[in-house]
Amino acid sequence: MTAVLSRRTLLAAGGGLVVAFSLHAQEPKRPGSLKETPSLDAWIRVAPDGRVTVFTGKAELGQGLTTALLQIAAEQLDVAPNRIELITADTMRTPNEGFTAGSHSMQDSGTAILNAAAQVRGLLCDAAAAEFGVAADTLTTADGLVHAADGRAIGYGELAAKLNLHVDATANSPLKDPAAYRLMGTPMQRIDIPAKLTGGASYVQDLRLPGMLHARVVRQPSYGATLLDFDTGPIEHMPGVVKVVRDGSYLAVVATKEWQAIKAMRALAAAAKWQETASLPDEATILDTLQALPVKDIPVLTWQAQAGAPVKRLKARYSRPYLMHGAIGPSCSVAQFVDGTMTVWTHTQGVFPLRAALASLLRLPPDKVHCIHTQGSGCYGHNGADDVAGDAVLIARAVPGHPIRVQWMREDEHTNEPYGSAMIAEVEGAIDADGRIVDWDYAVWSNTHNRRPNIGGLMLQNAALSDKLPVPPPAPIPMPEGGGDRNSNPIYALPNARVVYHFIPQMPVRISALRSLGAYLNVFAIESFMDELAEAARADPVEFRLRHLQDERAKAVISLAAEKFGWSAGKRGDGRGFAFARYKNLAAYCAIALTLGVDHETGQIRLGRVVAAVDSGQPVNPDGIRLQIEGAIIQSASWTLYEQVHFDRKRITSFDWSRYPILRFPAAPDSIDVYIVPRPGLPFLGTGEAGQGPTSAAIANALKDAAGVRLRQIPLSAPAVKTAIGV
């Protein structure tokens, strides 16, 4: 056996750190997810007829990942994209790549497929060289064929039939010269869009399996509510009702047709009696309440160096409320229990962790649960996707044989999804006589940003079921990626800085991962404060950022955004704002300049022109990158201007779009232009969460420029703006 045991295997087997570290030096460092799944045929298979199948453990969340992965595979294999089948996250078919989250997919899976495809193409060329009796470096590949200089050609299928691809990838790959790329770096239309525009079956919501029944859950009206009594009388004679499922405070109904299930659920809900407790804090003082809770202090960084004498010192406090993912399509799942095995079609971000969670919820061994990713509505983090799969499996177990389709109602999604944590950041900074930052003190308070289920105790249903599983305590996500402290480490070169994360374990409302995690508030705070310091230094905000940066790629992105926007130093007062961040200080760089206007009667902010510049490393689908940044800008504008989860002492009261308004078309900016700094051959940098932070601060900075007021508490709502301006 030549395979090298991975560190993960050894650690999982209890091999211990000493063994793992002693092996580490010999272990080849394979790129991307090849580290965890090295076998080439786990990623790429070539059938004898030449058909190519590519596997990824990541899922299409509506961000165009599958198209980009096909571009990568097609480029490195020299096979047309439409001749490649791509299989996404499936616990029985694909590599385990954990969660599709954190803007990691291109770095993890894209890099794995890039290298695996190049290595497979290399092995095919080696096989052809042996076949033709020529040197491999005299061969060329095109459209699934290997060509010899003398005109002979042989298909990939014929070569692959004699080739063993069940071999581990090597650390280095015969990658193409980026200058020769024809697909990577060129816009490609998304492969999934035509079906979505013609009524094709695109989503788990569209699954229709033989014998399928529909179910709805009578949800607990508030966290921890106890079901005291319910009456099946009203639904006993309703057409189509098949079964009522009850376990503790968990109550669901199954019917033949979807509308029948909804009517039965409503009748059951109307007759159900609950005991509720006033477990929620006062919304009006939630930030102070959170800040007063016990914390675990996590030092993020301490920098100490000689610096000039401080001449001005500023202090500010920034915050965000609880924010909702707010998928347009409520979460949905289909499950079927046959012969002791549960098959689950789910739009989860992590089929493997969900498999473990569902298995533990059902008290089944994990190999008796099969999770198949099927697209859903965009999720933007950990929303109801996993929990609705919990509903589907619990109900499917009670009605064996029948596929059970559960889709949440709007109020189920709005009031049960785990929200993004409310957060507070306090920052103090000082500048010297030359307008340089000489001191920086930053503290951030937050709940966790990860309660993604990998055990049953983290599923929503656990709180309702009679036999409860243990619930693990919340844990912070360590830096360098971080959770509440994500992007709390400034990218600016500061001589003296202290950053601390006050992690709050106690969670008054249900919390988990919302797109960009803590980066949204930390970038809002840092980039707002940079403008405050620039003003104190009488410096132009763009120039002030550049003077504190050493990272050349950061400077290039800022300069490009400023140039395309037409930013000119000293020109102020027309409602312009600028902000910049590198997501996690590890992923894509993004700078945003924008204009806005303020209606002084209402306090309403109206976005004008938005210009963004982004460096995502080697671009794969430039149009996809642009669309991700456009989406980030608009979603962040919605968070920043309008959004806040409301609650009373018992219940979440933001139960629909009227109680949780989001941005609508009339409020979309006049224009958004996104410019890409291409970096041929450099590693992919995740882009999906790069724009949210900078957008929020660019809006706050532009508001200051337009109306002279500095708002530090998100949302920058019309009433808040009006109050700040005064009448």
Partner 1 sequence: MIRLNVNGHDHDVDAEPDTPLLYVLRDDLALNGAKFGCGLGQCGACTVMVDGRAVFSCLTPIALLPGRNVRTIEGLGMNAVQQAFVEEQAAQCGYCIAGMVMRAQALLEHNPNPSEQEIRDQMAVNLCRCGTHMRILAAVRRAAGRGVKS
Binding flag, residue 191, partner 1 (CB under 8 A): no
**Contact present, 686 and 583 (Cβ < 8 Å):** yes
Binding flag, residue 664, partner 1 (CB under 8 A): yes
Judged by CB under 8 A, the chain residues 434 through 463 that form the site for partner 1 are none
Binding flag, residue 193, partner 1 (CB under 8 A): yes
Instruction: Provide DSSP, 196-218.
Output: HTTT---SGGG---TT-EEEEEE
**Contact present, 376 and 331 (Cβ < 8 Å):** yes
- State how beta strands 423-432 and 437-446 pair: antiparallel
Binding flags for partner 1, 56-95, as an x/- string (CB under 8 A): -----xxxx-------------------------------
Look up tokens 């980026």; give the residue.
178
Is 518 strand, coil or helix?
A: coil
Q: Give the number of residues in contact with partner 1, rule: CB under 8 A.
A: 61
Q: How far is the CB of 202 from partner 1 (least distance, A)?
A: 7
Q: How far is the CB of 201 from partner 1 (least distance, A)?
A: 6
Report which DSSP code applies to 713. B
Binding flag, residue 211, partner 1 (CB under 8 A): no
Judged by CB under 8 A, the chain residues 31 through 60 that form the site for partner 1 are none
Cβ-based nearer residue to partner 1, 239 or 401: 239
Binding flags for partner 1, 402-431, as an x/- string (CB under 8 A): -----x-xx---------------------
Judged by CB under 8 A, the chain residues 597 through 656 that form the site for partner 1 are 623, 627, 630-635, 638, 656
Judged by CB under 8 A, the chain residues 257 through 276 that form the site for partner 1 are 257-260, 262
Q: How many CB atoms lie within 10 A of CB 192?
A: 17
Binding flag, residue 162, partner 1 (CB under 8 A): no
Tokens of 304: 């100490």
**Phi and psi, residue 577, nearest 5°:** -145, 155
Q: What is the CA radius of gyration of the chain?
A: 27
Q: How far is the CB of 258 from partner 1 (least distance, A)?
A: 5
Cβ-based nearer residue to partner 1, 129 or 212: 212
Which of residues 45, 176, 190, 402 is near partner 1 by CB under 8 A? 190
Report which DSSP code applies to 457. G
Cα 62 to chain centroid distance, Å, stands at 11
Judged by CB under 8 A, the chain residues 214 through 233 that form the site for partner 1 are 214
Q: Minimal CA–CA distance to 418: which of 355, 324, 327, 482?
A: 324
Q: How far is the CB of 651 from partner 1 (least distance, A)?
A: 18
Judged by CB under 8 A, the chain residues 288 through 317 that form the site for partner 1 are none
Tokens of 150: 């003398």
> Under the phi-then-psi rule, with left for phi > 0, alpha for psi from -120 to 50, and beta for the rest, what region is 226?
beta
Is 307 strand, coil or helix?
A: coil
Which of residues 12, 197, 284, 309 is near partner 1 by CB under 8 A? 197
> From residue 716, how far is each of 34, 174, 521, 576, 656 by CA, in Å?
44, 51, 13, 16, 21
Binding flags for partner 1, 321-350, as an x/- string (CB under 8 A): -----xxxxx--------------------
Residues 6+ apart with CB under 8 A from 96: 36, 37, 57, 352
**Contact present, 626 and 590 (Cβ < 8 Å):** no
Binding flags for partner 1, 369-408, as an x/- string (CB under 8 A): ------xxxx-x--------------------------x-
Cβ-based nearer residue to partner 1, 555 or 609: 609
Q: Minimal CA–CA distance to 514: which of 620, 643, 702, 677?
A: 643
Cβ-based nearer residue to partner 1, 189 or 568: 189
Cβ-based nearer residue to partner 1, 52 or 676: 676
Residues that bind partner 1 (CB under 8 A): 61-64, 189-190, 192-194, 196-203, 205-206, 208, 214, 239, 257-260, 262, 326-330, 375-378, 380, 407, 409-410, 623, 627, 630-635, 638, 656-658, 662-666, 668-669, 671-672
